[in-house]
Structure 1
Amino acid sequence: MACLGGNDRGVSALHREIASCTICAEFLADGPRPVVQFSSTAKLLIIGQAPGSRVHATGVPWDDDSGNRLREWMGLSKEQMYDPARVALVPMGFCYPGKASGGDKPPRKECAPQWHGQVLAQLPRDRLTLLVGTYAQGYYLPKTRSMSLTQRVESFEQFLPHILPLPHPAWRSRIWMQKNPWFEAAVLPVLRQYIDKLVK
């Protein structure tokens, strides 16, 4: 897996360093505003893609309809998800990348190599990582790049107990779930069992 190393430093110091990051500022039309949540005790790590415009405005990760759907999948309340002692929220790109035709731009590629290893080094080793969407899965499961997202999610058991791939919970996921009823029947119960053990 990529970027699992990193310097051993305090969580607070690393938060401050990330907050002042301007490594890709010239490419961000709305300017840098890194959005991330982590602590040294969070045993659930959620790696998504990048903040949207609403999250950029509020500074709160997953503060949108996709976040509501993800919490529903996990069976978590907002209070539980936004407790950094229990849950780390680390997108592939920490800043809103801006708009493109048909949606947002992809996460900036500078971010994960620069910061992920340092953040992950602060987390407990006995954690579960949810890889939400194709960007996170492509980065952390490079040997599965020939597989589709559906194939990776359907093969979720081969990645447990440390990793569980999920589709991105955007509005299109409702259509995807209708076409793939096994996700709700087989994957979500296992996901919630892990969440119950690690977070609740």
Structure 2
Amino acid sequence: MTLQQFLIFFAAAFLLGASPGANNLLAFVSATKAGWLRAAKSVIGRLAGWAVLVVLVSLGLDILLHTSEVVFVALKWVGVAYLTYLAWQFWNADVSTDVEAPEVSTLMRREFLTLMANPKAYLLLTAFLPQFVNDTAPIMLQLLMLGGAYLVIEGFAALLWVTAGTLVGAHALTPLRRKIINRSSAGLMGTAAYLLARSEKA
């Protein structure tokens, strides 16, 4: 990969990683409740999910997704169900100020499951990474290296959302403000579930 290609890859990967989405929203809300360090640690769960997807893409997941309607539809409805579940959790979350912040292990599990239940993440990697592969080296090795670079960029972008959530949470959120954040998050998760349900395979 030339320097120009790498810069294009870096810019595109950062825009994709920093764009609003279920995981970034989750990181933001987690940071308002649990603080920067716990929320930052939870991002490890997301990166573990991305690592799994990178390996799967390297092993040919892109071919399976593009050729199997059954696999795509199954992934889509699993994603719809999980996003709906998250929306319900946000909507009904306890907003009292004396509620303990979730444990890091819980936050990491949410990050991991949110990513793995989102078929858009699968399609992102299967459509994005192969664009930067050439014939000068083994394809699998290139996909793994590109995937590793994407994980680093994704992690950095996620920490920006964590930092934003921490800054919001630092302003002594009242129960009313907590409710507004939770209900807004529930609405966004529900909207994401709805749009995913209506999506068709490209």
Establish whether TM, by shorter chain, passes 0.5: no
Q: Which has the larger radius of gyration?
A: 2
In the superposition, the TM-score normalised over structure 2's length comes to 0.25
